[in-house]
Amino acid sequence: MRLYQKKHKIYINQVLYLKKVLRKFNLTSTYVISTLLPEGYQLLSHNGPINAELCSRYQTVIEFLLYIMLETHLDIAYAVIYLFQFCVNPLKEHLDKTLHICRYLASTKNYLLVYNNNKEQSIKEYINADWVSNPTT
């Protein structure tokens, strides 16, 4: 994690760590992704036999996404928690969606958290709930 201060603001990012992990996942030359998951996309559970190699790779990617989400990329929280549900027995499709999120991170790698020491401003939090993904209600 990189922290630096300019005047009365603190900046935090994980660009170097992100680049290192993207190289590990072989995602260095990716195209621009502007959404975390395709619109209206719903994943299905897999009840068939467990593919140990796929499961291990999937869990490795999820572990990275959870770490970076908790440290500096709160914007990926909904998608990562959604995909975390499939860690026990993922499909190739599930892995593809986690890598889609990695490509999104590659596209937004220069985003940072900025903390301003202005007493008149307060921290504001916004949540983008995906109400559309539940067709029953």
Tell me: the pLDDT tens digits for 78-111?
A: 899 989 999 999 999 999 999 999 989 888 888 8
Residue 136 is predicted with a pLDDT of: 52
Do 97 and 41 form a contact (C-beta atoms < 8 A)?
A: yes
- 134 within a domain of the structure (yes/no): no
> Where is pLDDT greater, at 135 or 46?
46
- 131 within a domain of the structure (yes/no): no
Q: How many domains are there within the chain?
A: 1
Terminal CA-CA length for the chain: 41
- 130 within a domain of the structure (yes/no): no
- 133 within a domain of the structure (yes/no): no
Find the domain containing 8 and state its range: 2-122
Helices marked H in 3-76: 15-24, 52-71
Do 30 and 103 form a contact (C-beta atoms < 8 A)?
A: yes
Give residue-wise pLDDT tens across range 102-131.
989 888 888 888 888 776 666 666 665 555
Predicted TM-score (pTM) of the model is 0.79
